[in-house]
Each structure stands twice: as structure tokens, then as C-alpha cells.
């Protein structure tokens, strides 16, 4: 590179630089041969500059030999493009570089896919050649937005008095709701470390240590089945504060989001974000992560349903269930077959069927219309907000099932109407979750989020006697139907922590074995504290309008938790296994089958 280092990037040349000499380094994006003149588009991560090569026949021949993704250094003079050749859609479109020297730094072999078409290549192929996909403008933008998000986090939290502190990556295995990745110890044969699913106990220990305000851009690892918004390893904006209440966390995170969105997108968020209780979210939207970009709230029609002669409604209500509905805005023209498809969706969420009413110019008709008077049918339409052209979708079921089924139908209506693609960002806090949920398979109670969450003060007496009625100081940050983060006020008293563990079926001996070190720490002046973890990958995916967190992670895994780029996971040598005192027994196939 001696004498060839760039003096300008490919994204910065403009009219103010005309007459200058410049050296550019980058990749050939495209080549266009116009006989005696060859035009090259040269690209780096900052942009693209057009290079004109003409005059010198040897230089022209060299330019003709260049192919996409060849790496070059080009020196020349910055000149203005002719008026009719200016490209207003290109930041450097008013100028071009008239080449006097071209140095080929490396050639590129035949590409498996064109960089401009990388997003359309198969996932396995893209990940195997991830270094090529990352050169695409969309991925370069995603990585830049991710970087700017990280910088915004550090700016805000450092300014608020937080200390950035790393917690261990090799820890004791603890139940966090997913499987641990385990690491065998060479020194302690038969013993294993776990990779952290979150820094939960360590960040609480930092509060006991007097740190007061901690944050970390924490790497977390979970051995779980993958989806679009899940990876074996992810990054979270992890923070904890002492001597605070729920609203302190809300205010801080809102300040962080405002700064982050302004810095990365130039978008000004409106605060405070709405606060919605868990019960209200489930009743109105059928989800604890509601998409608030559109209305279509679920309505309770039980009182009206009880006044008709439809036996299905009566039997559900008598059994303690509800009759609820959601408005299919503008969907009255759906055929019976299409309504049947909606019914299948409702059944996937536990509903036994789907009732419906259509509001048309001719009147109100539907699957249960004959069991109700015209006056009651009008009241159904009025209660749901249905107008001419609308379809009312109704489920009769226990409250939880009705809410979940109608929540899914609400999103499907939103998708069909284009509401789920609406621009903008609709944030909210969902809080006051139940602390426990019943694990029917195990026949016992389990923590809905985790076991270190403080119950509401008014529910403290019921932690062990009636866990199902206990609500927690627990909150989620949601946006556009995505859960971005989860947090809580924590338990800071050992006796209460042991009560919660017992309610989850963890007795004294097991608690000591798994959490003894932490329970002892709570006895040494633990302050009231709380915090939150916001998923950085989900947040950046939202910022860039991506469909999967794989879009914003430099080197993600596939849905089978493999990395086609480096071939991981891979077998280890017999020598390594012997050193660790381990033996591999293949189950249902060989290790080489990976």
C-alpha cells in the first residue's frame, strides 16, 4: 500500500473537490465499456464514486480487465461531470475521478451471487459467503445503525452516572427458562461451567456491592429452538439501578430511546410512552406485546350474547367463559372459504370455532344472526364499532383462550388491511404481570419471567398461600408488536426470595445448591433495586425495518444453530476429549453428520 493509501473515501467527493488530485481505495462495483473510454463505479463502505478511464490505451485495457469485487487503488483528478451526466440520486453524482493510475490490489474469483442481489440469494449460500453479503449496501447500513445505537447507549447511560462493567461468561448453571450452553472444565474433571443466559444475578450482586448504577452491552447465550427473533447468542442493553421505583426505569429508558432514535434515524419519539397493565393488554389486544399502530380492540360481548337464544354462547357463559369479538374492518366481502381460513387460525389458538356477523347495505347477517332479534344484532354492531362493509369475528371460550384467539385474528385483520406495515413506532410499557403461571405438565407454579422479581406490596401475603393471585412489579417495553425488553423491581430481602423459590417448587436444599451464594449476599445490606434488559438485536431490526435479527448480526447462525461460514459446531479431537475426560456417544447418527 506504500504510496497507494486513500486520500478520500468513495463517498465524500463533490463539487468542492473539483481540481484536486485524489487516491481512492475500494472494490469494483461495476464496469461499463464505451469503446475508448471505460467507466468504473468504485465502492467502499462510505459510498460509490464514478471513475473515468480514457486516453492511455494500457490503462484502458487494464480497466477493461477489471471485474466485480476486484480490489483496486486508483489515483486521478477530480473533475465535474457534464451537466447532462450529473446523477442527483448519488451523493458523488456531480463529479467523477479521471484516472491516471490503477493498481490492482487483489482479484476476485467468480462470485456465487452478485452483491446487488445478495438479499435474494438463499440463506445458506449468503451465510457461507457472509463476507460478500456484508458488502451489500443494506448490510453496511445495518451495521452502521447497530454501531450508532451502541454509541447512543453509551452516551446516555454514561451521562446518567452508569458504570459499564463486564460480568463473567463462565458461570454456574442456573435455571433461567432455557437450556444452558455448558463448558467442561479441564482442571475440575466432571464439572462444567455454563455460558450466561443473562447477567441477572451478577448485576444484582453489583447493586449489593454499592455500584448503584450499572450497564453492560451483554452477550447472552441460550440453547433453545430458534425463530426469526431468536439466536443462540444475542446482545442486550443490560442495566440495573439502586434505590429506584418502576417509573425511574421507565423515564430512563424513554430518554435512551428518544436519543437513540434521533441519532440513528432522525426520528423524534413522543414521551411518556403509554402504560398498559398486563390484564388490560390481554383483554383489549389479546397479547402482552400489542401492536398499537392500529386500533381494532377486542370487545366483550358477553352481556349481549346472553340475551339471545344461541346455545353455544349460553353454555360458555354458564361455564365462566366469555363471548368476545374483534372488528374485521372492511372484510364483509370475504367468502365462506376465507372466513373458514380465519376460523382455522382461531382454532390454532385454542378456540373451538368462530362465529361471525356481516354488516352490509342489506342488513346484518351471519352464523348466529337467526338466534338474535334485529335490535340485538344492531347492538352487536354498535358495541364493536361495526359499520357497513365490516365483519365482526366472535369467539366464545374461557377468557385466556378467547383473548389469544382474537389477538391472532386482530393481527391477521391488521395484516390484510395493511395496518401492520404502517410507518412509525408505537411504544408502550406493559406492566403488572402475574408473578407466577401454572406449569400443568409439572403440576406446579413457575415464574412467568424469573424468580427474582418483587411482588406487588398488596400481594405479598399470597406468595405461598395463593400464587395465582400474585402480581409483580414487572414490565416489558414493546413497540409495533415486538417485545424489545423486559425488567422488574427485584427482591432484595432473603426471606422473601426464599418464599418465591418455594412457591416455584425449589426447597431449601436445592436453593442452597443453586443460589446459596446469592441468597447469602442478600443478607449483607442489599438495597432496593431494579432494572431492565433491552434486546439490541431486536431493537436494531426494528430501526432498519428488517424481518429477522439475522439481518443485523454480522455473523449469525442458521435456524439449526450452525454457522455455514466457519462450519461450527464441529467435532473436537480425541486428544481434546481425553484431556477433558469426556467420551462422545453418538445418538441417532454420527457427529460428522453435522
- The Cα–Cα gap between 504 and 526 comes to 23
DSSP-assigned beta bridge partners for residue 275: 429
Reported as type and span, the H/E element at residue 235 is strand 233-242
Q: What is the pLDDT of residue 228?
A: 61
Mean pLDDT taken over the chain = 94
Q: Is the confidence at residue 585, as pLDDT, over 90?
A: no
Q: What is the pLDDT of residue 443?
A: 83
Q: Is the confidence at residue 424, as pLDDT, over 50?
A: yes
Q: Is the confidence at residue 343, as pLDDT, over 80?
A: yes
Comparing 160-169, 349-358, 428-437, 575-584, the range with the smallest average pLDDT is: 575-584
Distances from the Cα of 108 to the Cαs of 28, 32, 421, 465, in angstroms? 10, 18, 39, 69
CA angle 518, 519, 525 (to 5 degrees): 90
Query: Tens digits of per-residue pLDDT, 142-159?
Result: 999 999 999 999 999 999
Q: What is the pLDDT of residue 72?
A: 97
Q: What is the pLDDT of residue 589?
A: 52
Grid cell at residue 356: 361471525
| 301 φ/ψ angles, rounded to the nearest 5 degrees | -110, 15
Q: Are 61 and 21 spatial neighbours (Cβ–Cβ below 8 Å)?
A: no
Residue carrying C-alpha cell 434505590? 243
What whole-number percentage of the chain has pLDDT above 90?
A: 89
Note the CATH architecture for domain 15-106: Beta Barrel (2.40)
Q: Are 485 and 477 spatial neighbours (Cβ–Cβ below 8 Å)?
A: yes
127-276+483-490+527-562 fold: BirA Bifunctional Protein; domain 2 (3.30.930)
Give the E-state strand segments of 322-383 in sequence order. Answer: 322-328, 355-360, 363-366
Dihedral sign for Cα atoms in the order 59, 61, 67, 70: negative
Q: Average pLDDT in the 472-496 region?
A: 97
Q: Are 538 and 425 spatial neighbours (Cβ–Cβ below 8 Å)?
A: no
Q: Are 449 and 470 spatial neighbours (Cβ–Cβ below 8 Å)?
A: no
Q: Average pLDDT in the 116-133 region?
A: 93
Label residue 594 by pLDDT band (50, 70, 90): very low
Q: Is the confidence at residue 226, as pLDDT, over 80?
A: no
Question: Domain limits of the chain?
Answer: 15-106, 127-276+483-490+527-562, 294-421, 433-472+493-526
Q: Quote the pTM value.
A: 0.92
- The Cα–Cα gap between 44 and 578 comes to 47
CA angle 411, 422, 301 (to 5 degrees): 35
Task: Please give the class, per CATH, of domain 294-421.
Answer: alpha beta
Q: What is the pLDDT of residue 210?
A: 97
Label residue 55 by pLDDT band (50, 70, 90): confident
Check if 15-106 and 294-421 are the same fold.
no
Amino acid at each position: 500500500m506504500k504510496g497507494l493509501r486513500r486520500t478520500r473515501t468513495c463517498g465524500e467527493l463533490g463539487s468542492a473537490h473539483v481540481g484536486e488530485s485524489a487516491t481512492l481505495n475500494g472494490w469494483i462495483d461495476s464496469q461499463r465499456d464505451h469503446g475508448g473510454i471505460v467507466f468504473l463505479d468504485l465502492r467502499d463502505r462510505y459510498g460509490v464514486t464514478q471513475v473515468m478511464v480514457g486516453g492511455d490505451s494500457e490503462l484502458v485495457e487494464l480497466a477493461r480487465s477489471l471485474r466485480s469485487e476486484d480490489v483496486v487503488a486508483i489515483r486521478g483528478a477530480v473533475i465535474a461531470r457534464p451537466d447532462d451526466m450529473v446523477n442527483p440520486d448519488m451523493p458523488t453524482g456531480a463529479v467523477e475521478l479521471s484516472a491516471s493510475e490503477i493498481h490492482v490490489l487483489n482479484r476476485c474469483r467468480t462470485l456465487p451471487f452478485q452483491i446487488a442481489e445478495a438479499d435474494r440469494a438463499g440463506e445458506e449460500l449468503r451465510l457461507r459467503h457472509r463476507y460478500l453479503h456484508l458488502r451489500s449496501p443494506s448490510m453496511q447500513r445495518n451495521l452502521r445503525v447497530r454501531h450508532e445505537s451502541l454509541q447512543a447507549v453509551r452516551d446516555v447511560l454514561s451521562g446518567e452516572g452508569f458504570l459499564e462493567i463486564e460480568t463473567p461468561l463462565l458461570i454456574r448453571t442456573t435455571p433461567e427458562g432455557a437450556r444452558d450452553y455448558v463448558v467442561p472444565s479441564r482442571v475440575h474433571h466432571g464439572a462444567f461451567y455454563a455460558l450466561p443466559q443473562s447477567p441477572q444475578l451478577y448485576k444484582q450482586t453489583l447493586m449489593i456491592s454499592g455500584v448503584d448504577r450499572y450497564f453492560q452491552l451483554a452477550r447472552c447465550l441460550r440453547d433453545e429452538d430458534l425463530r426469526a427473533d431468536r439466536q443462540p447468542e444475542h446482545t442486550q442493553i443490560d442495566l440495573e439501578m439502586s434505590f429506584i421505583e418502576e417509573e425511574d426505569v421507565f423515564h430512563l429508558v424513554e430518554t435512551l430511546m428518544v436519543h437513540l432514535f434521533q441519532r440513528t434515524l432522525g426520528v423524534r419519539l413522543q414521551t411518556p410512552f403509554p402504560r398498559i397493565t398486563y390484564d388490560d393488554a390481554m383483554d383489549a389486544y389479546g397479547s402482552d406485546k400489542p401492536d398499537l399502530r392500529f386500533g381494532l380492540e377486542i370487545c366483550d360481548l358477553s352481556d349481549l350474547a346472553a340475551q339471545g337464544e344461541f346455545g353455544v354462547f349460553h353454555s360458555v357463559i354458564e361455564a365462566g367463559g366469555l363471548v368476545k369479538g374483534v372488528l374485521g374492518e372492511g372484510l364483509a366481502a370475504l367468502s365462506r372459504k376465507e372466513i373458514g381460513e380465519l376460523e382455522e387460525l382461531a382454532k390454532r389458538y385454542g378456540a373451538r370455532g368462530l362465529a361471525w356477523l356481516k354488516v352490509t347495505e342489506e342488513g346484518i347477517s351471519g352464523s348466529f344472526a337467526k338466534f338474535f332479534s334485529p335490535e340485538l344484532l344492531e347492538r352487536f354492531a354498535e358495541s364493536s364499532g361495526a359499520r357497513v362493509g365490516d365483519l365482526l369475528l366472535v369467539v366464545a371460550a374461557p377468557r385466556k383462550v378467547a383473548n389469544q384467539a382474537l389477538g391472532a385474528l386482530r393481527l391477521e385483520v391488521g395484516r390484510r388491511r395493511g395496518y401492520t406495515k404502517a410507518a412509525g413506532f408505537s411504544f408502550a410499557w406493559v406492566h403488572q404481570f402475574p408473578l407466577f403461571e401454572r406449569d400443568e405438565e409439572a403440576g406446579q407454579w413457575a415464574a412467568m419471567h424469573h424468580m427474582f422479581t418483587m411482588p406487588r406490596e398488596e400481594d405479598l401475603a399470597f406468595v405461598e398461600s395463593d400464587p395465582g393471585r400474585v402480581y409483580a412489579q414487572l414490565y416489558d417495553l414493546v413497540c409495533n408488536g415486538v417485545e424489545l425488553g423486559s425488567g422488574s423491581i427485584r427482591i432484595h430481602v432473603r426471606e422473601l426470595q426464599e418464599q418465591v423459590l418455594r412457591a416455584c417448587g425449589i426447597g431449601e436444599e436445592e436453593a442452597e445448591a443453586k443460589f446459596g451464594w446469592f441468597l447469602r449476599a442478600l443478607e449483607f445490606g442489599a438495597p432496593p433495586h431494579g432494572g431492565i434488559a433491552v434486546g439490541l438485536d431486536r431493537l436494531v431490526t426494528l430501526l432498519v425495518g428488517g424481518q429477522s435479527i439475522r439481518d443485523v448480526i454480522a455473523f449469525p447462525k442458521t435456524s439449526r444453530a450452525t454457522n455455514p461460514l466457519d462450519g461450527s459446531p464441529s467435532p473436537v479431537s480425541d486428544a481434546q476429549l481425553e484431556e477433558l475426560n469426556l467420551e462422545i456417544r453418538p445418538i441417532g447418527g454420527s457427529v460428522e453428520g453435522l
